[in-house]
Amino acid sequence: MGLHRRFVYVALILLIAALLAWRNLQEPSQEMASLGGGTMGTTYSITVPLNHAGAPLADAIEQRLDEIDRIFSTWRDDSDISRFNASRSTDWFASPEELASVVAESIRIHELTGGAFDITLGPVIERWGFGREDVTTPPSDEELAVLMASVGTRFLDSRASPPAIRKQRPDIAINLSGIAKGWAVDAIAMLLMERGIEHFMVEIGGEVRTRGGNGGKPWRIAIARPQPGEPQAQTLLEIGTAAIATSGGYHNSIELLEQQYIHIIDPARGRPVKSQTASVTVIDEASTMTADALATALIVMPAENAMRFADSNGIAAHIMLLDEDGRLTARSSQAFLAYLEREQQ
């Protein structure tokens, strides 16, 4: 990555499988198998019943992930998102349904969170070194002022039929890194359900969706301790069918002029977030895409504001705070406490 070092720790969430100690002879437990590989600049892992885990499913997953990459990758000049960013037109840009849907949800989350989630930070993210370009110094105040003038989800539109997106300013460029992996998890989950698979776990870059059970028992997911290095479980959850996403600055940072900066940008300032919030985990019953975006938005907010927002909107959120002495504390919204209580039963 040029003159700087980037630390990428993909596994924000550890999957802990509930291993079966005993088998019922009349009703044997279902064996599970995992498929995995690389996608979207990270890795994926998919656990399904053994009888489904053959080459046809693996090929279908790879094909769908390739399609997703051709839509959302900012590292490909021929992707739909790159072509939209390169265009200076303010007319409707015909896009795949997938892109229009993700942009529409991004606009909704932006409005819901009062601007804490903003996909138009693309040029700012690039300038801080979290994109395709290598950088060696932080942006100056003058550079940031120029870049921030073209930031604002209010300058974006999306429509479903026919699917298209539109920028109201020619210099708008979007980055969907805070929501696209969650959407990809949902897309693979849909593929599995269309094939009649009722028990599975899909994980892409730490964003997870589960359905049914794991070999006859509920899925057990561990939220990782927010620290660099080998992931360690901090909080264990027992879930059935749900989506879970975690946002944390510890797994992706950059060093510029001997200063460490995390990849999460505050849309109000155009600078990497600085706070005691080390990570935020969100559980959503229906959408990994939504959980992904909300986790990103909540880590931008001050912890007190984030917790009030989560409780006011019925969001299952778990916030880990790291003080100056390295002590870790956790706070959970009312909706998240229900999952913790389920684990303790």
Residue 198 has pLDDT above 80, yes or no: yes
Write the CB contacts of 22 (distance below 8 Å, at least 6 apart in sequence): none
pLDDT confidence band for 63 (50 / 70 / 90): very high
Say what percent of the chain tops pLDDT 70: 88
pLDDT at 222: 83
Residues 112 and 256 in one domain: no
Domain co-membership, 273 together with 340? yes
Domain of 157: which CATH number?
Answer: 1.10.3980.10
- Joined together, the tokens standing for residue 165 give 């997106």
The verdict on residue 23 lying in a domain is no
Rounded Cα distance between 308 and 51, Å, is: 45
105 and 57: one domain? Answer: no
Residues 268 and 324 in one domain: yes
**Do 212 and 300 belong to one domain?**
yes
Please name which of 198, 190, 15 lies closest in space to residue 98, comparing C-alpha atoms.
Answer: 190
User: Of 115, 143, 167, which residue is a domain's last?
Assistant: 167
Which H/E stretch holds residue 165?
A: strand 164-167
**Lowest mean pLDDT, pick from 56-65, 132-141, 195-204:** 132-141
Coil, strand or helix: which one is 61?
Answer: helix
Asked if residues 313 and 271 have their Cβ atoms less than 8 Å apart, the reply is no
Q: Do 277 and 185 share a structural domain?
A: yes
Question: What is the structure's pLDDT at 228?
Answer: 61
Does a structural domain hold residue 1?
Answer: no
Whether pLDDT at 178 is above 80:
yes
Are 154 and 210 members of one domain?
no
Using the 3D structure, point to which of 143, 167, 191 is the last residue of a domain.
167
Q: What is the pLDDT of residue 167?
A: 97
Domains identified in the chain, total number: 2
CATH number for the domain that contains residue 308: 3.10.520.10
Same structural domain, 250 and 329: yes
Question: What is the arithmetic mean of pLDDT over 115-123?
Answer: 95
* pLDDT tens-place string over residues 137-150: 999 999 999 999 98
Domain limit, last residue, from 101, 135, 167: 167
Domain range for 309:
6-17+31-71+179-344
**Position 22 in a domain:** no
Query: Do the domain assignments include residue 122?
Result: yes
